[in-house]
Chain A
Amino acid sequence: MRGHRDLKLACVAAVLCALVAALVPWEIVRLVAALPLTLFLPGYAIVAAAFGSRELAPPKRLVLSVATSLMALVLGAFVLNIFPFGLRTASWAVLLPLVVIGAARGAALRRKPAARQARRRPAIPRPAPASLAIAAVAILIAGAALVLAQKPLPAKNAVGFSALWMLPTDSREDAVAVGVISNEHDYTSYRLEVSLGKSQSKTYRVHLYPGEEQVYEVDVPPRASGRTHVVATLYRKGRPEHVYRRVNSWLPRQTTFP
């Protein structure tokens, strides 16, 4: 690929981006590397291979590069699926640079030597400082709009709730996890009663901030025969006589439907 600076650059960039995306632990760094690797470089190399020395206006080259990259991803997924290892970080990190290098090699072969000298860098417009400043403000405002959209906000009229749940802790089913989740708007207090069969029961005082969850592990006493009926009942502090939530389970569970 001697004499084809753009192709060489594309190949080096593809390998570097693949290494960074596959090996670096920070998501944002991986994103910066993965975006050109997935959405630009494969298409750029394929378009270069297809067009060889023929003229293609830079805007069209750019758009075709992105579009062809999308097509390469779609078809790449189909190809990777054929192999036993399938679609993985490593397989994508190998396939995409291979596509770029293979297509760039094809492009280098198809380009005429004369075209190497004739190739000139496209003129990049230099905007006035005032225009740059306005564009920067526009980007800031657009960024603020996106950040605002990502942010959960207080919603006083949204009806909050609490949830009670119960599941066996493991496959042996000799204990249950009982959880209380508060999605209320305020700090809330509860009383949790867990009855195990007819004779045993345990009581817990639960205090939760909004969004908090409290989980209790309760041992289920072994039984020679039959099943133990475990019932968890939740009462709110203000209404101690009124059952607020109730869940139940018969342990050990059956494998058949009723």
Chain B
Amino acid sequence: MVQARLESLPVIALLAAVGLFLCSLANAMARATLAPTELIYWVGLLIIALPIFFRLSSTKPSYRERLVLVLLLGLALYGVKLVHDSIFFTFSDEFVHAFNAHNIEKYHHLYHFNPAIPTTPYYPGLEGATSALMMLTGMSSYGAGIFVVGAARLTFMTSLFFLFARLSGSARGAGLGVAIYAGTSNFLFWGVQFSYESLSLPLLVVVLMSFVEREEAPPASRSAWAVPIVLGILAIAITHHLSSYALAVIFVALAILYRVMKVERPNPWPFALLAVGVALGWLLIAARSTTGYLFPVLEEAIKAIVKTASGESAPRTLFHQASTTAETVASTPLAARAMALLAVVVLAGIVFVGLRQLWRRRDVRREPLVILFCLGALAFFAALTLRFAPAAWETGNRAGGYFFLGLAFVGIYGAAEFLRRGPNLLRRRVLLTGALGIVLVGGAISGWPWDIQLARPLQATADGHEIDSESLAVAEWAGERLDGSRFAAPEATARTLLTPGGQVAFGGQGPDIEDIVDEPELRSWQLPLLEKHHLPYVVANRRLNSEDTLRGMYFTVKDQYGSALREPGVVHKFARIPVGRIWQGGHISVFNLRDRP
């Protein structure tokens, strides 16, 4: 009786809310620069997830209850991302996409230049959709963006549930499959940031779900299911390059498998043709810059794999900061590393059992999409090895989100084998719930740097008034006083100058702004480069983490982070030209190169 009550949907929802509050409290304490509060955060995360996992492992819930549980899981974990932010987007890619959304609102057209990632305006799906809500409500990109990404997340959870339920024939398995997917390293934060993949991946799952439903539907209904598939393929092509390529690869592979396996249902080659056509068409007609953006990254990743494999370069140390220029950050504690590695072991175990079960079930392994999912599950572990190659770890991490779809599906059969009828079912349910908890926490640890799992202060209150971090203050000042001016700045400052500053701010290495603002001496090529790119305003920031787009925009906190400085020369070299210094704060100075004697 007590167990039944504890497992009831309202109680589980209440526990999820309590867990979310604990996560919010931990973030609030971190923003208030109080003692470390990670334990509260992780406990909160587990209070959200474990009751849902436990209930999903039961045989009792109806199809609809499982669907609601999956929605609750998606909503509550999306809430964890929302309580991480304050009232601004704070993830590095979010500044870039928010800038695009503001440009659409400002100029009423798509494809306006973005200095941070020039490819992004040519994939305007997310920003276009968000702009509709911005214009119709008057909200900021932050307000509108959280609704659009939230809708996409809920769509993702439910579509994945329907997809798995249809393919596996089990609602219980589908719920557990979605629970396993929550353990992918990109699920908690990366997958719900205001960035194009947060919309395209859910749409990709909707397309796959519609495809599977179409396969099972009577012939008269197939044309109906083709509508979301076609609309989805078109929308994904406009929204995100990698997702559109992934979808094209999936459909081409399906078309080949249908042919090879002599599947009696209609071959999906028209969808394959459409997916390849629109992805290629969009790349060649609208988004040519994508090749210059994506291919060097992939080339570097391949080179890094070869070098690491041949022993030419040392493997990357796991759980360490990739950048060598940024301020030293707290490394991931041993217990957290162990948890992340344990999660991989648990996943490997679930997949091993799941693959064995699938191999035994002739009816299921005759399904081409199931075969693709099995390959995806194996590819996930192959992609994990990319984390050892310095320039390839991000490629591996990003690809993992797609491969994990297959892993989660195979995991259904592993979990089902574990929960077979028999003695000690309750104990086995508890064990599986614990295992899923490890997968969730392990994924969260490996997906986001340990030191920024919790929020940092961007704004604070003092004496009853609001005060801003220096990067935010200079961005707001520029937004108020300099209308759309062109800046060269360290990358973290450049991102805040984009949004909320609304300026055209260049940072990073293309053009090489990084060396101009980071080196203590002025070199002969630097001023001509700034002139060539029409960048009269230069931001000099002495903070060592000013190039770090995840950490560089927050307040410096005594004895914790942000206090390491660059040489004074990074500021003085501009003052010595001499040119006008139009802003001086604690560590940031803004110079105007056209302001001179």
Chain B residues positioned under 8 Å from A50 (CB to CB): 223-225, 227-228
Does B449 sit at the interface, judged by CB under 8 A? no
Within 8 A of A (CB), among B569-597: 577, 579-587, 590, 592-597
Q: How would residues 55 to 78 of chain A score, 1 for a CB under 8 Å from any chain B CB and 0 otherwise?
A: 010011001101111111111111
Quick one: closest B residue to A85, CB to CB? B108
Question: Smallest distance from the beta carbon of B48 to chain A beta carbons, Å?
Answer: 10
Q: How far is the CA of A158 from the CA of B28 in the complex (A)?
A: 14
Contacting pair A54 B224 (CB below 8 A): yes
- B146-154, B418-426, B493-501: which lies at the A interface? B146-154
Which of B64, B111, B127, B231 has the most A CB atoms < 10 Å from its CB? B231
Chain A residues positioned under 8 Å from B592 (CB to CB): 249, 253
Within 8 A of B (CB), among A177-193: 179, 181-187
Does A205 sit at the interface, judged by CB under 8 A? no
- B180-188, B233-241, B407-415: which lies at the A interface? B233-241
Contacting pair B86 A152 (CB below 8 A): yes
Does B128 sit at the interface, judged by CB under 8 A? yes
Contact partner of B124 (CB less than 8 A), chosen from A77, A156, A183, A247, is A77
Contacting pair A59 B477 (CB below 8 A): no
Contacting pair B17 A245 (CB below 8 A): no
Q: How far is the CA of A85 from the CA of B129 in the complex (A)?
A: 17
Contacting pair A148 B136 (CB below 8 A): no
Contacting pair B17 A139 (CB below 8 A): yes
Does B116 sit at the interface, judged by CB under 8 A? no
Contact partner of A258 (CB less than 8 A), chosen from B151, B577, B582, is B577
Chain A residues positioned under 8 Å from B232 (CB to CB): 67, 71
Contacting pair A145 B17 (CB below 8 A): yes
Does B79 sit at the interface, judged by CB under 8 A? yes
Q: How far is the CA of A227 from the CA of B594 in the complex (A)?
A: 13
Q: How far is the CA of A141 from the CA of B28 in the complex (A)?
A: 15
Q: How far is the CA of A78 from the CA of B25 in the complex (A)?
A: 41
Does B555 sit at the interface, judged by CB under 8 A? yes
- B291-299, B332-340, B344-352, B466-474: which lies at the A interface? B466-474
Does A118 sit at the interface, judged by CB under 8 A? no
Does A1 sit at the interface, judged by CB under 8 A? no
Question: Smallest distance from the beta carbon of B240 to chain A beta carbons, Å?
Answer: 10
Does A21 sit at the interface, judged by CB under 8 A? yes
- A2-10, A30-38, A196-204, A217-225: which lies at the B interface? A30-38
Within 8 A of B (CB), among A151-170: 151-167
Chain A residues positioned under 8 Å from B555 (CB to CB): 155, 158-159
Within 8 A of A (CB), among B13-69: 13-14, 16-18, 20-21, 23-25, 27-28, 31-33, 64, 67
Q: How far is the CA of A77 from the CA of B238 in the complex (A)?
A: 10
Q: How far is the CA of A89 from the CA of B144 in the complex (A)?
A: 14
Does A102 sit at the interface, judged by CB under 8 A? no
Q: How far is the CA of A67 from the CA of B250 in the complex (A)?
A: 20
Given A70-B199, A162-B585, A165-B477, A186 and B462 touching (CB < 8 A)?
yes
Question: Smallest distance from the beta carbon of A49 to chain B beta carbons, Å?
Answer: 8
Given A30-B138, A63-B155, A247-B583, A155 and B557 touching (CB < 8 A)?
yes
Contact partner of A78 (CB less than 8 A), chosen from B9, B110, B457, B558, is B110
Does A171 sit at the interface, judged by CB under 8 A? no
Chain A residues positioned under 8 Å from B273 (CB to CB): none
Chain B residues positioned under 8 Å from A158 (CB to CB): 33, 457, 460, 469, 555-557
Contacting pair B461 A157 (CB below 8 A): no
Question: Smallest distance from the beta carbon of A254 to chain B beta carbons, Å?
Answer: 5
Contacting pair B132 A73 (CB below 8 A): yes
Given A51-B224, A157-B560, A249-B595, A141 and B457 touching (CB < 8 A)?
no
Within 8 A of A (CB), among B446-484: 457, 459-463, 465-470, 473-474, 477, 481-482
Contacting pair A250 B463 (CB below 8 A): no
Q: How far is the CA of A135 from the CA of B338 in the complex (A)?
A: 37
Q: How would residues 132 to 148 of chain A score, 1 for a CB under 8 Å from any chain B CB and 0 otherwise?
A: 10110111111011101
Contacting pair A211 B139 (CB below 8 A): no
Within 8 A of A (CB), among B119-158: 124-129, 131-133, 135-139, 147-148, 151-152, 154-155, 158
Does A214 sit at the interface, judged by CB under 8 A? no
Does A92 sit at the interface, judged by CB under 8 A? yes
Quick one: closest A residue to B146, CB to CB? A146
Does B263 sit at the interface, judged by CB under 8 A? no
Question: Smallest distance from the beta carbon of B439 to chain A beta carbons, Å?
Answer: 24
Chain B residues positioned under 8 Å from A72 (CB to CB): 231
Quick one: closest B residue to A185, CB to CB? B462
Does A229 sit at the interface, judged by CB under 8 A? yes
Q: How far is the CA of A34 from the CA of B130 in the complex (A)?
A: 11
Given A39-B147, A155-B557, A87 and B594 touching (CB < 8 A)?
no
Does A111 sit at the interface, judged by CB under 8 A? no
Quick one: closest A residue to B162, CB to CB? A60
Instruction: List the 7 closest A-B pairs by CB distance, nearest first.
Output: A77-B128, A161-B586, A86-B108, A73-B129, A158-B555, A211-B465, A210-B462
26 contacts between A and B (CB under 8 A): A38-B129, A38-B132, A39-B147, A52-B224, A60-B162, A66-B151, A70-B129, A70-B152, A70-B199, A75-B231, A77-B104, A86-B107, A127-B10, A131-B8, A149-B86, A152-B31, A153-B32, A155-B31, A157-B557, A158-B469, A161-B585, A165-B481, A166-B582, A185-B462, A245-B585, A247-B583
Chain A residues in the interface with B (C-beta under 8 A): 18, 21-22, 27, 30-31, 33-35, 37-39, 46-47, 49-52, 54, 56, 59-60, 63-64, 66-78, 81, 85-89, 92-93, 96, 127, 130-132, 134-135, 137-142, 144-146, 148-167, 179, 181-187, 209-212, 227, 229, 245-250, 253-258
Chain B residues in the interface with A (C-beta under 8 A): 8-11, 13-14, 16-18, 20-21, 23-25, 27-28, 31-33, 64, 67, 76, 79, 82-87, 104-105, 107-111, 124-129, 131-133, 135-139, 147-148, 151-152, 154-155, 158-159, 162, 199, 202-203, 206, 210, 213, 220-221, 223-225, 227-228, 231-232, 234-235, 238-239, 457, 459-463, 465-470, 473-474, 477, 481-482, 527, 530-531, 536, 555-560, 562-563, 577, 579-587, 590, 592-597
Query: 9 extra interchain contacts, Cβ-Cβ under 8 A, other than A27-B139, A209-B463?
Result: A46-B231, A50-B224, A50-B227, A76-B132, A85-B108, A86-B107, A134-B10, A141-B18, A149-B28
